[in-house]
Amino acid sequence: MKLPARHRIFFAFLLIVIAGCVPEEERQHETGYVEALQMIHAEAFFQQGLRGNGVKIGMLDIGFAGLNSDTSLAHVRTNNRIVFVRDLIPNYPVSMFRYSHGTQVLKYIAGVYPDDTVFGGSFARDATFYLIRPAGGAGAKEDARNDERNIDTAFMILDSLGVRLVNMSIGFWNEFTREDENYSPEQMDGQTTIISRICQKWAGKGMIIVNSAGNTGEYAWRIIWTPADAPGVIAVGADRFTDKVFKASYSGIGNPDVPFIKPDLITYTPWGTSFTAPVVTGMIACMLQKDSTLTTGEIMKILHQSGSLYPYPNNYVGYGIPDARKILILMEHPDSSVSFVKPVRVTGDQYRIPTSSQNIVVFDKTDAIRVRRQATREASDSTLVLERKRKVTRTTVAIGLDEAWEIFWDKPE
């Protein structure tokens, strides 16, 4: 079946992005992970010796080319930390070692780079890994339902091996060649798609599933893909900057018509959302090393509370940027308040916030979570002036990563 021109262009681009074999691209991936770890204060975990030791991590991805030669994963191979590899579509013409997408994602979880003098490696460099290919990626778009069934099988296998934490930087939306297999944005409600129901089932059994939010934000689709839409899955979007809370244009937004928040969090990446999920997966591995009894619900709650916008999330960035420092406080003192957000009720048409920061992002919202627009702002004369806007009932102001305001625009009496 010959694909339409626009699909051929899309798949060609996707192959370039996930190939991961260009040296310059490799260097950029390395830079991205260091900056992502700096943004979420990974040093707080590392200072306590938390590197994912003793934690089993499952990885579901489209391929692992370069796994046996990538220098940043040499320690993983030398220490026999890749203990299981399985291809669930062995008869597909392209082998699981054709695409390197999964290898690049693994590097964000466990990579160690000679030039990294800041952290000496990613979050979970000492974890053990279980790699499964349930889907074929670009070009293998003929049977989406089979890919979803394979993911169910993959979870069954991982569960039998004692794996609780799973990273999935893959998802489903409407890119399949068979129209009857495509989903629609309206179905991203956490309960309609086959894959969201599968993930919800396994989350209910104790699996901790981390999924990238999808690079769907610049398409007419806009909404996150599935299974990032499932309430029991931790969906991670992309931040465009390292010094402010701002959704990258390509990062999918949450469906505003569901009674839960998606995405859950965002982190920085110079690439796509595929490389935000593994950062959070690595964080969770460190949390499980510290306390292996944490449940899926407890982990989600702690991650949400550590977010830079908690308790005022929105459907662009979720709860904002997670913070390892806050996570440690919350793990040791669950009733602690670590929120930096200041709520203010305003009855007039204007409000002034004293700040000299230039790293300001404003989220104008039509209700508690629906973002009408996000925009960067700069203070003038040590003051940020906010104006009441039409159809806007609340405004979130994120100042850098450690300060935020929630403005409630009350109607004048």
CB contact at 8 A, 229 and 189: yes
Does residue 127 sit in the same domain as residue 222? yes
Does residue 402 sit in the same domain as residue 304? no
CATH number at residue 173: 3.40.50.200
Does residue 291 sit in the same domain as residue 359? no
Assigned domain for 207 exists: yes
Assigned domain for 241 exists: yes
Question: Which pLDDT score is estimated for 397?
Answer: 98
**Distance from C-alpha of 114 to C-alpha of 112, rounded to nearest angstrom:** 7
Does residue 213 sit in the same domain as residue 309? yes
Assigned domain for 268 exists: yes
Closest CA to 320 of 332, 307, 331, 337: 307
Over the stretch 239-249, which tens digit does the pLDDT of each residue have? 999 999 999 99
Picking from 302, 332, 362, the residue at the C-terminal end of a domain is: 332
Q: Which domain holds residue 131?
A: 28-332
3-class DSSP state of 147: helix
Q: How many domains does the chain have?
A: 2
Question: Which pLDDT score is estimated for 412?
Answer: 61
pLDDT, the chain, mean: 89
Task: Among 29-33, 49-53, 57-61, 272-276, name the one with the lowest average pLDDT.
Answer: 29-33
| 51, two tokens | 């590197």
Amino acid letter for position 214: G
Over the stretch 296-343, which tens digit does the pLDDT of each residue have? 999 999 999 999 999 999 999 999 999 999 999 999 999 999 999 999
Assigned domain for 17 exists: no
Does residue 322 sit in the same domain as residue 363? no
Closest CA to 196 of 230, 233, 244: 230
Does residue 308 sit in the same domain as residue 359? no
Question: Which pLDDT score is estimated for 119?
Answer: 85
Does residue 326 sit in the same domain as residue 370? no
Angle at 18 between CA 181 and CA 131, to 5 degrees: 80
The model's pTM is 0.91
Assigned domain for 94 exists: yes
User: For tokens 């499980």, what's the residue?
Assistant: 288
Q: Which residues pair with 129 in a beta bridge?
A: 57, 82
Picking from 332, 361, 376, the residue at the C-terminal end of a domain is: 332
Over the stretch 55-79, which tens digit does the pLDDT of each residue have? 999 999 999 999 999 999 999 999 9
Question: Which pLDDT score is estimated for 25?
Answer: 40
Question: Which pLDDT score is estimated for 30?
Answer: 60
Question: Which pLDDT score is estimated for 97?
Answer: 86
Helix boundaries (H) for 64-142: 74-78, 101-110
Of the pLDDT bands very low, low, confident and very high (cuts 50, 70, 90), residue 8 is: very low
Question: Which pLDDT score is estimated for 137?
Answer: 61
Average of per-residue pLDDT across 353-382: 96
Picking from 332, 365, 385, the residue at the C-terminal end of a domain is: 332
Helix boundaries (H) for 241-295: 277-290
Does residue 368 sit in the same domain as residue 235? no
Closest CA to 26 of 210, 352, 271: 271
Assigned domain for 386 exists: yes
Closest CA to 36 of 386, 332, 275, 355: 275
Q: Which residues pair with 237 in a beta bridge?
A: 266
